[in-house]
Each structure stands twice: as structure tokens, then as C-alpha cells.
């Protein structure tokens, strides 16, 4: 190796050592600043913790009241569908007119009303926030009760229409059965006549055609009756499956989280203050 290469190698080694040494000095200086101003950092940290704790314990607790409502279903041609979609239920429950009607005579106002569909079901979760759990139960009871009553009116109307249709079909079946019975009696009377005349043969053929037509008609009516009965049994109205109940512990303020955040923020402020004070102490402002 010639002298020039040795010189370059020596310089690179020296520059690397100097860089490592400077990093060590900088790290040592940073730790030194933190250690010198540890009391300031600790004081700010403790004050921040105290403020967070005082706020968490002094703030008015907020409870969540929730209920679950099944939106019911009706049997369509293809599948069972909810009486009211979750989106429609949300619009109804969030409407100002509905809330005024539901909470008529109640002095308190509902806060933080939320309507959340339960995934994969026709159930919605209705929740609100309140400072008074008992009062929250009353408010949500009125809201869910008014909602179920409103939707149940439409459901009962649909059910009554289907029941009326079922009665009409049953009356038609009775009439068709009477006609079938009458035709069979006439056919049996023709069978006793010996030998039957040409006119009687024609009449008997017409009676047989009529009997077949009535039988087919009865089969269609029986199928309609069966479908309506299945729909009436399968259809379900809106039901409250979980009555309004307040949470056992407040949802806000979250004391542990607030105190932890206050501690982290206080620590960050303390470190920033330590470096700021140390900088101005080493580099005082020049005044004329």
C-alpha cells in the first residue's frame, strides 16, 4: 500500500471516530440536561397528573342507556324481509317530529341518540347518553315504545288485510265445495238412468267438465290459502327484545385514560421546558 492510500485510510478512520465521539457527547449532553432539570420535569409531570385526576373525578359522569329492538319481518315472495329497514328506522328515530311526539311532557332532552344496526340481523341498537341513569331509562322507554307503536300500526293493517283476504278465499272454497257436491249428485242421478239418452250423455259430459274445472279451482284456492296462512304465521311485528338499561359504570370521563394522557403530556411539556430553560441559561439574551 502506498503512502497516499495509507493517508486516506487514516483520515477516514479519524473522521469516523470523531463522528462517534460527537454523537456520544451529544447524547451525554442530552442526558445531562434532563438530569440537571429533573426536578422541573418531575414538577410539571406531577402537576399535569394532578390536573388530569381533578378533572376526571370532578367531571359529571355520563352514562349510556341502550335497548335492542327487532324490526320484525314479513314473508315476501322470495324471502323474509324486515318491516322497516335499519336506514328507515334510523331516519324515523332521528326525526325531530318523532322525538317531540315521543318525549311530549318530558322536560329533559335526549342527548347523543344513536341507532346502530346489529350486523347480520334485523335488530337495531338504540342508545343515548345521560347524566341520570333513571331518567335515561324513562327517555329511552318512551322513544322505543313510540317507535314500536308507530310501526305496529302499519303491521296490523297489513295483517288485517291478509286476514280479510284469507276469509274471502275460505268463502270461495266453501262455495266451490258446494258446487262440486251438487255436480256429483247430478252425475250420480245420470248413472242410475238406463240406458242414457243422447241428451243425457251430453249433459253428463258437461257436468264432468264442470266438475274438473271446480276441482282445479279448489286446488288453486287451497294453495292460496296455505300461502296466506304461512305468511300470517311467519310475519312478526316490531318487538323490544332488550329493554332500556343504563350501563353500570359511566362511559365518560374515562379516568384512567385521562390521567395517563395527562401524565404523557406533562412529561413532554416538562422535557421541552427543561431544554428551553437550559438553552436560555447557556445563551442569555443580550440587552443594550
Q: What are the pLDDT digits (tens) for 193-248?
A: 566 667 767 777 888 888 899 999 999 999 999 988 888 888 888 888 999 888 88
CA distances to 68, 236, 268 from 152, in Å: 16, 10, 58
Q: 232 or 48, which is more confident?
A: 48
Nearest CA-CA partner of 193 in 203, 183, 178: 203
Average pLDDT over residues 10-38: 65
Nearest CA-CA partner of 218 in 280, 268, 174, 182: 174
The angle formed by the CA atoms of residues 145, 118 and 151, to the nearest 5 degrees, is 30
Only one residue has cell 338499561, namely 245
Helix axes 38-58, 3-36, angle to 10 degrees: 50
Residues near 76 by beta carbon (within 8 Å), at least 6 away in sequence = none
Q: Which pLDDT belongs to residue 257?
A: 92
Instruction: Kindly report, residue by residue over 70-89, the tens digit of the pLDDT.
Output: 988 877 666 667 778 888 88
Report the predicted TM-score, pTM, of the whole model to 2 decimal places: 0.63
Predicted confidence band of residue 16 (pLDDT cuts 50, 70, 90): very low
Q: Which pLDDT belongs to residue 186?
A: 81
Residues near 222 by beta carbon (within 8 Å), at least 6 away in sequence = 173
The residue count of the chain comes to 288
Instruction: Kindly report, residue by residue over 169-192, the tens digit of the pLDDT.
Output: 999 999 999 998 988 888 787 666
Classify burial at 147, counting beta carbons within 10 Å of its beta carbon; exposed 0-12, middle 13-18, buried 19 or more.
buried
pLDDT of 8 above 60:
no
Residue 227 is placed in which grid cell?
300461502
Q: Which pLDDT belongs to residue 104?
A: 76
Amino acid at each position: 500500500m502506498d503512502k497516499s492510500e495509507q493517508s486516506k485510510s487514516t483520515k477516514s478512520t479519524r473522521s469516523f471516530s470523531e463522528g462517534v465521539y460527537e454523537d456520544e457527547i451529544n447524547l451525554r449532553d442530552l442526558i445531562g440536561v434532563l438530569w440537571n432539570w429533573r426536578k422541573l420535569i418531575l414538577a410539571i409531570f406531577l402537576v399535569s397528573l394532578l390536573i388530569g385526576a381533578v378533572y376526571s373525578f370532578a367531571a359529571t359522569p355520563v352514562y349510556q342507556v341502550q335497548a335492542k329492538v327487532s324490526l320484525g319481518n314479513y314473508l315476501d315472495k322470495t324471502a323474509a324481509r324486515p318491516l322497516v329497514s335499519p336506514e328507515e328506522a334510523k331516519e324515523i328515530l332521528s326525526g325531530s317530529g318523532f322525538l317531540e311526539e315521543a318525549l311530549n311532557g318530558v322536560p329533559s332532552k335526549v342527548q347523543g341518540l344513536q341507532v346502530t344496526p346489529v350486523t347480520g340481523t334485523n335488530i337495531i341498537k338504540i342508545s343515548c347518553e345521560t347524566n341520570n341513569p333513571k331518567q335515561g331509562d324513562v327517555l329511552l322507554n318512551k322513544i322505543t315504545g313510540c317507535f314500536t307503536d308507530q310501526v305496529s300500526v302499519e303491521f296490523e293493517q297489513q295483517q288485517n288485510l291478509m286476514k280479510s283476504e284469507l276469509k274471502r278465499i275460505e268463502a270461495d272454497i266453501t262455495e266451490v265445495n258446494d258446487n262440486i257436491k251438487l255436480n256429483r249428485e247430478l252425475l250420480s242421478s245420470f248413472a242410475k238412468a238406463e240406458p242414457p239418452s243422447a241428451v243425457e250423455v251430453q249433459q253428463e259430459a258437461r257436468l264432468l267438465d264442470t266438475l274438473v274445472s271446480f276441482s282445479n279451482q279448489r286446488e288453486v284456492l287451497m294453495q292460496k290459502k296455505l300461502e296466506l296462512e304461512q305468511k300470517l304465521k311467519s310475519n312478526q311485528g316490531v318487538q323490544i327484545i332488550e329493554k332500556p338499561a343504563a350501563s353500570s359504570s359511566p362511559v365518560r370521563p374515562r379516568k384512567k385514560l385521562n390521567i395517563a394522557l395527562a401524565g404523557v403530556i406533562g412529561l413532554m411539556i416538562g422535557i421541552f421546558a427543561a431544554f428551553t430553560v437550559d438553552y436560555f441559561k447557556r445563551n442569555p439574551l443580550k440587552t443594550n
